[in-house]
Structure 1
Amino acid sequence: MPLELSTASRTPIELPNPFVPHKNPETGRWAPPQYSRRRQAELIKAAKKEGTLHLLPPGPKLNARDLPPPPASILKTSIHVQQLNIGAAALEVPVKWVGEVKIKEAAGANVGNKLYAGKSQMFKGHKWERVYRRKRKYQRMLMRDMAKRILKWRLTRVTKRPEPLSRIRGTVGKSRFLPF
């Protein structure tokens, strides 16, 4: 016997949203969503392919504003309806999803820059790409004072380096610089 809902009662059915975390009222602890974000994306792709996107609840991967309106005529002789053994009126009852979907709006996402929207810098990249700016800044600082540095090096090099010809040669195997 198929389950028939009265067409007079159009009050929405409240169901917990499986795409968002929910708080347990008894313990006060948060439970994770039933479907991970990867699985949500897979479900959305499959629903788009099947044309049943309007039946999915809103979530982090599917905003409420992105949900299409339900089609004007829902197929009442669907194979799924016959398999579930419910009446066609059950498909027309609206569902109110319980749970708040928090949408983060990142700057730049509205102009098509979704990958780096809201990011202060690019993702990891190569090491030379990450340290390039710091390295260039250091090089500019060194090159700015390079004339002074060269002059200073030439003056200290002459005083530190002994003259090779002024060295007194001692006996074979002995050097005057050794302490023994």
Structure 2
Amino acid sequence: MAAVQLVKRFRLRELASITRSGAQDSASIPKIPNPFLPHKNPESGRWAPPKYSLRRQAELIKQARASNTLHLLPPGLRLGPKALQGLVASPSATPTSETEGAWTRPVEWEGEVKEKADDVLNRLYAGRRRMFKGHKWERTLEKRKAETEKLMRSMPLRIQRFKETYRRKMPNPASPPRSSSYTKLPF
């Protein structure tokens, strides 16, 4: 039941602005700024961070899952609107005095959650012919593989050519030494 208390405390804290302003109409759904999202100050034009950090959001989500009150949390970066869309109070959870009350009423959260792409690399290099940065070995990998493949195709011929040239240069140890142009010293 501590999990329910945590979610209840969160909801009451966020709904306090509505109850203080006196704009409590039971027929309308109140609009509250989403505390899980950053917001822009209209006066200064600067962005303020979310009221709840990602770590605190994750803790709230864990507790809400444990108490079947996940539908009461606002959408955020940790729990997107797609995940919250189909959630309602599960029928298996028996309503108790703790899970009933004004804090469970529906709320419209202001702010838009931007979903992150699943694959960062696909988004990062979308529409590009080649990788724009990366390590040098990554950038030159394709070219080196193509060159290696081309050299491997002609490898038997290259080995044969090398062996013939090598034999021609090396003097036969059984034959008498001759004064040839081939010397080991460069002078």
Alpha-carbon distance, 1:19 to partner: 1.7
Q: Percent identity?
A: 41
1:40 aligns with 2:74: no
Q: Which residue in the other structure is 2:28 paired with?
A: 11
1:54 aligns with 2:71: yes
Whole-angstrom CA distance in 2 between matches of 1:8 and 1:178: 101
RMSD between aligned residues: 4.2
Q: Which residue in the other structure is 1:143 paired with?
A: 152
- Matches of residues 72-83 of structure 1 in structure 2 within 5 Å? 77-78=97-98
Structure in which a larger fraction of residues adopt helix: 2
Whole-angstrom CA distance in 2 between matches of 1:146 and 1:49: 65
1:152 aligns with 2:161: yes
Gaps of 5+ in 1: 82-87, 107-116, 121-129, 169-175
Whole-angstrom CA distance in 2 between matches of 1:61 and 1:119: 20
Whole-angstrom CA distance in 2 between matches of 1:70 and 1:7: 23
Residues 1:6 and 1:147: Cα distance change in structure 2 (over 3 Å): closer
Alpha-carbon distance, 1:29 to partner: 2.1
Alpha-carbon distance, 1:167 to partner: 5.1
Q: Which residue in the other structure is 2:8 paired with?
A: none
Residues 1:19 and 1:160: Cα distance change in structure 2 (over 3 Å): farther
Alpha-carbon distance, 1:151 to partner: 2.2
Alignment size in residue pairs: 141
Alpha-carbon distance, 1:11 to partner: 2.2
Residue identity opposite 1:147 in structure 2: P
TM-superposition CA deviations, 1:112-132 (whole Å, max 9, x none):
xxxxx5755xxxxxxxxx9xx
Residue identity opposite 2:27 in structure 1: R
Taking structure 2 as the reference length, the TM-score comes to 0.53
Q: Choose 34-43 or 54-63, whichever is displaced more.
A: 34-43
Residues 1:154 and 1:99: Cα distance change in structure 2 (over 3 Å): same
- Matches of residues 89-104 of structure 1 in structure 2 within 5 Å? 90-91=102-103, 93-104=105-116
Q: Which residue in the other structure is 1:31 paired with?
A: 48
Gaps of 5+ in 2: 1-18, 123-137, 179-183
